[in-house]
Amino acid sequence: MAGETDCPKRASVVACAGHVLVIGGPGSGKTTIALRKALARIRAGVNPGQSVLFLSFSRAAVTRVLDAAKLEVPGEVLLHLSVQTFHSFFWSLLKTHGYLLGAPRSLSILLPQDEKALSGGINDDDEDWPAWRDERERLFRQDGRVAFDLFAPNAAALLAASAHVRGLVAVKHPLIIVDEAQDTGDSAWRCVELLASQTQIVCLADLEQQIFDFLPGVGPERVAAIRAALAPLEVDLGGENHRSPDSEILAFANDVLSGTPRGTAYKGVSKIIYGVGKSAPNWNHLLRRALGELHRAIRAETGAFARTSVILTSSKGNALRVSNALNGLGSHPGKAVRHKLLFDEAEALLTARLAAFLLEPKSAASQEADVAASMEMLAAARRATGSAKKPVETLLKQAASIRGGKPLKINIAEALRATITSLRTERFSGDPLRQEQSTARRSMPPPWQG
């Protein structure tokens, strides 16, 4: 990629003393030029405790930015670059200054799975949502428990109410870079807008990539709001693609999103045809063949295998079928392919708490209380799904009866008693740390083999 001294557009971003809006698609170099801008600002002089703040939406995006920063920014300068998610930044504001909004001085996060368990898994289009919205507000004001959805609104309220807090943030971060600015919701953008009068803002935007366009203000209208509020220097990197310059993957993706495939081949994009008849395709064989061809093609072009691959499905059921196929299950078993299945984690995380609770030391004297606690954890996990309301109520009533001194002989209570007794009397074996190290050292076959 040409450096900023070779490209007038990129040079103008680095040299600009005011607000900047950089527009471009994937691989156009938005992150690289933003990091060079950060490097120039840090080299121009920062005080102890100051840093350039780079805000992005997800931990995966933060990791990507940090990896890029290691290539663009010298190690001693990285100390003055703070790469955070929006939620992390908002949480840092709230846990320090949230008491100014009337909340307790000590705050805690209401994790998504706990919120689902408390609310019964309802959504904002359910008739009970207004009541739950009021309850979330009470939890924040009285109990100091902050739901993720309230991070941005409360941070915006805090910055709007306190010029002192705005000044503190601006002094600490003389430059703020906003990644995927087109995806900022109303509250997140309000925070940026409030800080813009006291610190320099650089917004990076891609109008073809709107992940949260179902939220108010997200999309082209957000970019219009950025232009109106910041009057920035605007640099359009257009369709430049330095990430995959010798392929038409970006054009293919845009055509898929717009529903206008051109009907001819795309360079760098291949397809595998399989028959659709009365019998379902052999997913195990099909997926392994596709992955094998994909990795071989990548290696032929780049000299190295791809580090990761992504398989997209249209439903949870299809995702499970794909996962089973990769695990080598079904009528045509094979060697398992390492992968991660992404799904709604609330129920799994809440159930994991039960597993952790069962592994804790137990005494015979507390067995009935432990059984009741286990049943309450199971109820919370099921309640988070938003279904099975009556079974959840029944389970909680049974747990309350046990806590009230009435041991129940129902199946679930008996099963939990047997499990707890077994865990209490059986000695654990093995060394988790040694096993973890052994697993980490074990060489794994490439994911397309098997």
CA dihedral for 54, 60, 66, 69, sign (positive or negative): negative
Judging by beta carbons within 10 Å of its beta carbon (0-12, 13-18, 19+), is residue 58 exposed, middle or buried? middle
Neighbours of 177 (CB within 10 A): 28
Strand partners, 204: 22
Torsion, Cα 204 208 212 215, to 10 degrees, reads 100
- What tokens appear for 74 in the block? 């010298």
pLDDT in tens, the chain (450 residues): 444 445 888 899 999 999 999 998 777 788 889 999 999 999 999 999 999 999 988 777 788 888 888 887 788 888 899 999 999 999 999 999 999 999 999 999 998 888 888 888 887 778 888 999 999 999 999 999 999 989 999 999 999 999 999 999 999 999 999 998 998 989 999 999 999 999 999 999 987 765 555 555 566 788 999 999 999 999 998 766 555 556 677 677 777 777 777 877 777 777 766 655 556 667 677 777 788 888 888 888 788 888 788 887 877 778 888 888 888 765 556 677 888 887 667 777 888 889 999 988 889 999 999 999 999 989 888 887 776 678 888 999 999 999 999 989 899 999 999 999 998 888 777 776 665 555 544 434 443 333
What span, in angstroms and rounded, lies between the C-alpha atoms of 296 and 306? 9
Amino acid type, 153: P
Q: Which of 160, 146, 149, 224 is nearest to 192 (CA)?
A: 160
- Helix residue spans in 278-406 (DSSP H): 283-302, 316-326, 346-359, 367-383, 389-403
What span, in angstroms and rounded, lies between the C-alpha atoms of 202 and 36? 12
User: What pTM value is reported for the model?
Assistant: 0.66
**Cα distances (angstroms) measured from residue 197 to each of 55, 283, 305:** 18, 56, 47
Q: Which of 348, 295, 346, 343 is nearest to 318 (CA)?
A: 343
Q: Which of 247, 154, 225, 233 is nearest to 201 (CA)?
A: 233
- What tokens appear for 26 in the block? 């994937």
What span, in angstroms and rounded, lies between the C-alpha atoms of 76 and 64? 19
8-107+144-236 architecture in CATH?
Answer: 3-Layer(aba) Sandwich (3.40)
What span, in angstroms and rounded, lies between the C-alpha atoms of 208 and 258? 10
- What tokens appear for 219 in the block? 């999309």
- What tokens appear for 254 in the block? 């845009």
Are 249 and 268 spatial neighbours (Cβ–Cβ below 8 Å)?
A: yes
Every domain of the chain and the residues it spans: 8-107+144-236, 283-337, 346-425
Q: Which of 11, 8, 55, 59 is nearest to 33 (CA)?
A: 11
SS3 269: coil
Beta strands in 86-199 (DSSP E): 108-110, 145-147, 175-178
> For the chain, what is the total number of helices (H) and then of strands (E)?
19, 8
Neighbours of 380 (CB within 10 A): 23
Determine the pLDDT at residue 273: 65
Are 228 and 19 spatial neighbours (Cβ–Cβ below 8 Å)?
A: no
